[in-house]
């Protein structure tokens, strides 16, 4: 139907007869003798000169044949790649008329996202979505190439699988042939990729759709895509190499710059310095441990397991209400409170600094001096201090650091980071059993296997695992681990977790059975395509790189999903919908 894409026509085509197809981006009508039409396709916009009698309105779809000509002197448009030419002497064919678009098609107006999603088919025409979806395709393609270069084989795993009780909430699909039974949609291909290793695939990868029925966020949708991989006869170090190659390839394909080697930080350091297992290392404001300064403090609030602080440069300008808001925020996050101290020039001839704070009077001179020194306070800063249990102190200051310091998504480059040496267990539950930080097949750190044999209770929290995360600018891109392939180690882990042999057989029997038949040592990883694409595209929200995303409540404003289904359909599945629970409170 066409000879060229609208956005591709240049001065070199002058004199040629071309046919272009696209949407009417705008019209500038001068009279019945002259009108300019901007015709748009995914490649760009070209100016078409017609007489004013053609009824070409916004978003009409047209096919136009005409002659490419250089624009008149002084009328070129430097802002447009096609700005030096226009198409004249046109034959116009309207392929589709169109109602006025439900929102402005220019890129200047931030339209309400619900309205964009309700008319996503129109929204997708806009430059932003065109660019983002194409960026996504580039990422996918680069990842495939990188994995294939490294000898990985793409294997597809099933979408209808058995529900497992661990982990996130499953999406389930009722079985028609076995009423009362359900398939689950996969949260990840975890079990299957490990079975592939037993099956001698050696190096597996898949760009896999995963589903988790958990609350949605800017970086979380019900369904998301992951580069999922697993390899046999490899170490953690090998996995870093495979994934680095893929992520570097994707980054280079989008930005043109290949990232250098990805730095590493231990989980413990990440928590101590950034208060997060997914630190945004684009900016400083690191946490500083002040606990020892208050070993003998008179200030009750600082008689805590942990006292830590961060320094906000220039924060002394904050108003009292702003500081109160921050304090409220910390309380909402679960903290007891927030201490702030403005760093001001001391009065008197000696100079120096003084800390201005409502609680300064409860602290000794030595304590105040210690705070200023440790936090490297400078005039005009504000210091924030939190005292609480270790983990909560780190967490609260980590959140505050992000709240105050995080740069916009488009600033600071792409700071990839490996977070290594995750703990094997993240907590001890009320029964005294440790809660696994990853799945129960994660191999303990080789140096800690002996500890594992004897440790009990709190001491188990110090056991490290061979689990690792990849982080980009404060977003967790993905995680992986070296898996347990030895039944004796696996039994010990199940034992510690309080999972009996019978229960283990019930939950993971098919995997344990598979391991009886010769399991190679193996390790793997998975990272989110939506997240990495969003960051590479400069978007704060993964919905901007997904063609048809859901809203935060899990609805699709376009198709109206989720919807009720016919009673007959339910009956066939052996299902009945209960009336909504009434609230008697």
**Positions 536 through 555 that interact with RNA (CB under 7 A):** 541, 543, 551-553, 555
**Best CA proximity match to 523, nearest among 193, 261, 224, 263:** 193
**Which of 188, 232, 236, 533: binder of RNA (CB under 7 A)?**
188
| Token pair recorded at residue 30 | 């001068």
Instruction: Provide, rounded to whole angstroms, the least separation between the CB of residue 79 and RNA.
Output: 6
Q: Are strands 339-345 and 264-266 parallel, antiparallel or unpaired?
A: unpaired
Q: Give the interface size with RNA as a residue count (CB under 7 A).
A: 75
User: Which residues are registered as beta bridge partners of 203?
Assistant: 231
N-term to C-term CA, the chain:
66
Give me Rg for the CA atoms of the chain.
30
Instruction: Provide, rounded to whole angstroms, the least separation between the CB of residue 110 and RNA.
Output: 6
- DSSP classification of residue 448: G
Contact between 299 and RNA per CB under 7 A: no
Site for RNA in 388-447 (CB under 7 A): 395, 399, 426, 435-440
- Which of 126/543 has CB closer to RNA? 543
Site for RNA in 340-369 (CB under 7 A): none
- Listed ranges 126-134, 332-340, 484-492, 531-539: which one lies at the site for RNA (CB under 7 A): 332-340
- Which of 268/476 has CB closer to RNA? 476
- Which of 63/88 has CB closer to RNA? 88
What mask of x and - would describe binding to RNA in positions 203 to 232, judged by CB under 7 A? ---------x-xxxxxxx------------
Contact between 193 and RNA per CB under 7 A: no
Instruction: Provide, rounded to whole angstroms, the least separation between the CB of residue 489 and RNA.
Output: 17
Which residues have CB under 8 Å from 53's CB, separation 6+?
Answer: 32
- Which of 79/454 has CB closer to RNA? 79
Instruction: Provide, rounded to whole angstroms, the least separation between the CB of residue 304 and RNA.
Output: 19
Site for RNA in 87-106 (CB under 7 A): 88, 100-104, 106
Site for RNA in 257-286 (CB under 7 A): none
- Which of 331/569 has CB closer to RNA? 331
Q: Are strands 339-345 and 353-356 parallel, antiparallel or unpaired?
A: antiparallel
- Which of 86/421 has CB closer to RNA? 86
**Best CA proximity match to 511, nearest among 490, 495, 489:** 490
Site for RNA in 114-153 (CB under 7 A): 114-115
Cα distance between residue 276 and residue 310, in whole Å: 14
Burial class (CB in 10 A: 0-12, 13-18, 19+), 342: buried
Contact between 72 and RNA per CB under 7 A: yes
Site for RNA in 3-32 (CB under 7 A): 26, 28-32
Site for RNA in 156-185 (CB under 7 A): 164, 166-169
- Which of 75/91 has CB closer to RNA? 75
**Which of 1, 15, 33, 576: binder of RNA (CB under 7 A)?**
33
Cα distance between residue 513 and residue 198, in whole Å: 11
User: Which residues are registered as beta bridge partners of 227?
Assistant: 207, 527
Cα distance between residue 90 and residue 50, in whole Å: 6
- Which of 377/512 has CB closer to RNA? 512
CA angle 112, 101, 67 (to 5 degrees): 130
Cα distance between residue 376 and residue 425, in whole Å: 35
Which residues have CB under 8 Å from 471's CB, separation 6+?
Answer: 278, 279, 416, 417, 418, 419, 477
- Which of 19/551 has CB closer to RNA? 551
Cα distance between residue 368 and residue 364, in whole Å: 6
Contact between 333 and RNA per CB under 7 A: yes
Contact between 47 and RNA per CB under 7 A: yes
Q: Contact, 306 vs 291, CB < 8 A? A: yes
Q: Contact, 402 vs 475, CB < 8 A? A: no
- Which of 10/88 has CB closer to RNA? 88
Helix H or strand E encompassing 130: helix 127-149
**Which of 12, 14, 17, 34: binder of RNA (CB under 7 A)?**
34
Instruction: Provide, rounded to whole angstroms, the least separation between the CB of residue 127 and RNA.
Output: 13
């Amino acid at each position: 139907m066409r000879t060229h894409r609208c956005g591709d026509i240049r001065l070199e085509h002058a004199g040629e007869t071309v046919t272009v197809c696209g949407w009417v981006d705008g019209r500038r009508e001068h009279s019945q003798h002259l009108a300019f039409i901007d015709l748009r396709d995914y490649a760009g916009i070209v100016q078409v000169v017609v007489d004013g009698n053609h009824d070409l309105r916004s978003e009409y779809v047209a096919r136009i044949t005409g002659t490419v000509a250089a624009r008149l002197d002084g009328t070129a448009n430097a802002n447009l790649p096609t700005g030096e030419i226009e198409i004249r002497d046109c034959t116009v064919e309207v392929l589709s008329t169109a109602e006025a678009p439900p929102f402005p098609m220019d890129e200047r107006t931030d339209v309400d996202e619900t309205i964009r999603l309700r008319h996503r088919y129109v929204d997708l025409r806009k430059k932003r979505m065109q660019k983002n979806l194409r960026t996504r395709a580039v990422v996918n393609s680069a990842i495939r190439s990188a994995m294939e270069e490294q000898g990985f084989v793409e294997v597809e795993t099933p979408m209808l699988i058995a529900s497992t009780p661990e982990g996130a909430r499953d999406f389930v699909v009722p079985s028609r042939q076995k009423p009362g039974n359900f398939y689950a949609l996969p949260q990840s291909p975890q079990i299957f990729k490990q079975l592939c290793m037993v099956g001698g695939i050696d190096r597996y990868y898949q760009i896999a759709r995963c589903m988790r029925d958990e609350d949605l966020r800017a970086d979380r949708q019900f369904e998301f895509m992951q580069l999922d991989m697993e390899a046999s006869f490899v170490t953690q170090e090998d996995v870093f190499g495979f994934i680095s190659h893929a992520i570097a390839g994707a980054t280079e394909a989008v930005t043109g710059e290949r990232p250098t080697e990805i730095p590493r930080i231990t989980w413990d350091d990440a928590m101590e310095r950034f208060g997060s297992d997914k630190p945004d290392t684009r900016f400083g404001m690191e946490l500083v441990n002040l606990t020892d300064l208050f070993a003998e403090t008179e200030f009750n609030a600082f008689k805590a397991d942990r006292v830590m602080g961060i320094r906000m440069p220039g924060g002394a300008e904050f108003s009292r209400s702003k500081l109160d808001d921050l304090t409220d925020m910390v309380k909402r996050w679960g903290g007891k409170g927030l201490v702030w101290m403005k760093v001001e020039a001391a009065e008197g001839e000696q100079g120096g600094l003084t800390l201005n704070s409502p609680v300064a009077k409860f602290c000794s001179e030595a304590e105040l001096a210690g705070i200023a020194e440790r936090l490297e306070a400078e005039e005009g800063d504000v210091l924030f201090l939190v005292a609480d249990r270790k983990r909560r102190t780190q967490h609260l200051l980590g959140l505050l650091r992000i709240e105050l310091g995080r740069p916009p998504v488009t600033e600071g480059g792409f700071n990839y980071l490996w977070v290594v040496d995750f703990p094997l267990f993240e907590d001890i539950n009320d029964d005294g059993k440790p809660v696994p930080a990853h799945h129960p097949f994660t191999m303990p750190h080789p140096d800690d296997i002996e500890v594992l044999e004897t440790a009990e209770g709190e001491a188990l929290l110090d056991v490290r695992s061979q689990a690792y995360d990849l982080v980009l600018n404060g977003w967790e891109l993905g995680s992986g681990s070296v898996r347990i392939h030895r039944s004796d180690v696996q039994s010990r882990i199940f034992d510690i977790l309080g999972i009996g042999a019978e229960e283990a057989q019930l939950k993971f029997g098919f995997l344990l059975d598979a391991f009886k038949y010769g399991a190679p040592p193996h390790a793997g990883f998975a990272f989110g395509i939506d997240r990495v694409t969003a960051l590479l595209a400069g978007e704060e929200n993964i919905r901007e790189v997904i063609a048809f995303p859901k809203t935060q409540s899990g609805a699709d404003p376009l198709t109206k999903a989720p919807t009720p289904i016919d009673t007959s359909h339910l009956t066939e599945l052996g299902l009945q919908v209960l009336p909504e629970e009434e609230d008697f409170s």
